Amino acid sequence: MTTSHQEEFALLARAAEGDHDAFTRVMKTHEDRIFAVCMRMLADREAALDVTQETFITAFRKAHQFKGNSAVGTWLYRIAVNNCYDHLRRNKRKPADSLPEHFDQADPFATEAVEASAHRKEIEEALASLPKEYRAAVILADMEGMSLPEVAQALGVPVGTVKSRLFRGRRMLAERLGEPNG
């Protein structure tokens, strides 16, 4: 389902007035990507499902606060990332379980699917070991394909901070994965 920013803004305005069908349309447009971000941030399917649900409950309750200064998706990413941070703070532990094999596609940079799956667990563990701020920036920019200004809006920080977090996060990933001069 493709919906323009103006259409989504109008749907969110209707949701703020109590139109559940309008909010359902917004949710269906973004739920898969929001879940993917939560899954990558938390590396725990049940927690990711819970945080995704919390994200949409929060968005519905705060729909009246959305001013349209960003895309609805960017606003939802910000809520999701903040909810992930809250979840990580509450649980004070790093996720240890890897993602299920069927969850994500093979590494697009690997020459063979077998090679990609061989490195999958190592990559997941390295990503999970990053400080949450760096992990969020790397996930949104490198895995979700968001632009630097979009990531900045989603995280509520300046673009320069995003650049710094990406640089440091990528460098830490390279070090943890044993790549020279990351």
Give mean pLDDT, residues 105-109.
50
Same domain, 161 and 124: yes
Where among 46, 62, 95 does a domain terminate?
95
Shared domain check, 145 and 179:
yes
Question: Could you identify the residue written with the tokens 């990933």?
Answer: 173
Domain end among 95, 126, 146? 95
pLDDT at 46 over 60: yes
Residues 166-173: what's their mean pLDDT? 92
Helix axes 72-91, 20-42, angle to 10 degrees: 50
Over residues 71-86, the mean pLDDT reads 93
Name the domain boundary from 95, 125, 152. 95
pLDDT at residue 180 tops 80: no
pTM over 0.75: no
pLDDT band for 6, please (50, 70, 90 cuts).
confident
Nearest by Cα to 162 from 177, 147, 176: 147
Range of the domain at 115: 104-182
Q: Are residues 91 and 108 in the same domain?
A: no
**DSSP secondary-structure letter at 91?**
H
Query: Which residues are within 8 A (CB) of 162 and not within 5 positions of it... i.e. 6 or more apart?
Result: 137, 141, 148, 151, 152, 155
